[in-house]
A = this chain, B = another copy of it.
Amino acid sequence: MTDFTATKAMFDLPEGVIYLDGNSLGPLPRAARDRVGAMMQDEWGQMLITGWNKAGWMAKPKALGDRIGRLIGAEPGHVVMGDTLSIKVYQAVASALELNPGRKVVLSDNGNFPTDLYMASGLLKSLGPDYELRVVDPEAVEDAITDEIAVLMITEVDYRTGRKHDMKALTDKAHAHGVMTVWDLAHSAGALSVDLAGCGADFAVGCTYKYLNGGPGAPAFIYVAPRHAEHVRPALSGWLGHEAPFAFDLDYRPGHGIDRMRVGTPPVIQLTALEAAMDIWDMADMASVRAKSIELCDLFIAEVEAQCPQLELASPRDPAFRGSQVSFKFDEGYAAMQALIDRGVIGDFRAPDIMRFGFTPLYIDEGDVRAAAEIVTDVMTNALWDRPEYMVRHAVT
């Protein structure tokens, strides 16, 4: 069991704020600032270039990969950190295509986060006119898996609605048709129980600034199933994926296993901030996090639906088909979210009409959920959103 009182105390949360946007950017772990400060002063400052060995900088991407790997059911030694999620999607899809020669269709759905579609589309254009990115409705994915498909590229949890795909069922069907799978865990890692090994997933990728609380611009991770690890030819073949980076050979020879998915020099300062976040995650087990997340989401849905008939639930009601967020539709959702933020309830808005609330048991408890629901009720019942300054949309929300 996870001691959620203990984990909550390890975050630095602003006074007067109920933060329901940890699905977009997780809050600051209390230890992160000092840890990063010490790394900068004692390692970068004093060890200088020797920090790569002496302070273990070069080993951080795999060490952190394993700590995240525990949360997503990966075999030890098969997850590595680096780059951004966009880059890791590209790497995974390109590598998966290579493992499935002769097929030229990548299947995804229109609930996927757009950058996954953009990166895959750009990749396929570069490979030639025979390649196709086929995008269907989320509900149509299962039927669209055929012997024609090379790679199934799916984000497990929809970033807008929280709708959750069945990883095991889709992976099984994919494999029955000779299809490689790439799972994007952006809204899964740290949000719900993921069992990559148990599902037989081929590739997985994810980011660490949402539920994992690594900080703005924290690096991404990539998983390659052990059965592929020594066969995959990395699409972005950088020097740190080389078998012997410091031999400075002119020809590329892939490193062993997941090491070959490394590309360039790792972002040591960001990785150090992420370590402080993973110290908290090391105290948690995903089964209890998931159970608590479902309790919190169900409670929020019940409270809001009882008081706010204007809000229509946009997330699946059955928690088995939902991630760790709750979304409501409301035509004036943008203004309503601004009104909520003004009153200390931070969620976010996704066009055209989605109000999104993330529930993160490491630092959000039942008291927070009840208090947030009361403020939502006040804003909706009294139409507090109906003020001109709440209607002005910013370029970035």
Residues of B within 8 A of A118 (CB): 237-239, 242, 252
Which B-chain residue is minimally distant from A35 (CB atoms)? B40
In the complex where A216-B52, A238-B84 touch, is A248 in contact with B209 (Cβ < 8 A)? no
Contact B86 A263 (CB under 8 A): yes
Whether, in the assembled complex, A268 has its beta carbon less than 8 Å from a beta carbon of chain B, the answer is: yes
Residues of B within 8 A of A135 (CB): 250
Residues of B within 8 A of A250 (CB): 110, 114, 117, 135
For chain A residues 250-284, which have a beta carbon within 8 Å of chain B?
Answer: 250-252, 263-271, 273
Interface-centre pick from A17, A25, A49, A50 (highest chain B CB count, 10 A): A49
Contact A264 B83 (CB under 8 A): yes
Whether, in the assembled complex, A382 has its beta carbon less than 8 Å from a beta carbon of chain B, the answer is: no
Contact B110 A238 (CB under 8 A): no
In the complex where A217-B271, A246-B397, A273-B269 touch, is A28 in contact with B12 (Cβ < 8 A)? no
Mark each residue of chain A from 22 to 50: 1 if its CB lies under 8 Å from any CB of chain B, else 0. 00110110001100110011001110111
Contact A122 B235 (CB under 8 A): yes
Mark each residue of chain A from 319 to 357: 1 if its CB lies under 8 Å from any CB of chain B, else 0. 000000000000000000000010000101011000000
Compute how far the CA of A250 lies from the CA of B348 in the bound complex, rounded to whole angstroms: 20
Residues of B within 8 A of A209 (CB): 265
Which B-chain residue is minimally distant from A44 (CB atoms)? B28
Interface-centre pick from A19, A87, A245 (highest chain B CB count, 10 A): A87
Contact B41 A114 (CB under 8 A): no
Residues of B within 8 A of A270 (CB): 217, 267, 269-270
Contact B44 A216 (CB under 8 A): yes
**Whole-angstrom distance from the CB of A264 to the nearest CB of chain B?**
3
**Whole-angstrom distance from the CB of A136 to the nearest CB of chain B?**
12
Residue in B57, B119, B236 whose beta carbon sits within 8 Å of that of A238 in the complex: B119
In the complex where A25-B49, A52-B396 touch, is A216 in contact with B83 (Cβ < 8 A)? no
Whether, in the assembled complex, A190 has its beta carbon less than 8 Å from a beta carbon of chain B, the answer is: no
**Whole-angstrom distance from the CB of A242 to the nearest CB of chain B?**
7
Whether, in the assembled complex, A51 has its beta carbon less than 8 Å from a beta carbon of chain B, the answer is: yes
Residues of B within 8 A of A239 (CB): 86, 113-115, 118
Compute how far the CA of A320 lies from the CA of B334 in the bound complex, rounded to whole angstroms: 59
Compute how far the CA of A50 lies from the CA of B238 in the bound complex, rounded to whole angstroms: 34
Residues of B within 8 A of A17 (CB): 48
Compute how far the CA of A85 lies from the CA of B127 in the bound complex, rounded to whole angstroms: 23
Contact A84 B86 (CB under 8 A): no
Residues of B within 8 A of A218 (CB): 267
Mark each residue of chain A from 133 to 152: 1 if its CB lies under 8 Å from any CB of chain B, else 0. 00100000000000000000
Using A40-B273, A113-B248, A246-B395 as known contacts, list a sample of 8 further A-B pairs with CB atoms less than 8 Å apart, ordered by residue number in A.
Answer: A25-B52, A49-B346, A51-B216, A110-B250, A122-B236, A126-B126, A217-B268, A217-B271
Query: Chain A residues in contact with chain B, CB under 8 A?
Result: 12, 14, 17, 19, 21, 24-25, 27-28, 32-33, 36-37, 40-41, 44-46, 48-53, 57-58, 83-87, 90, 94, 110, 113-115, 117-119, 121-122, 126-128, 135, 207, 209, 215-220, 234-239, 242, 245-252, 263-271, 273, 341, 346, 348, 350-351, 394-397
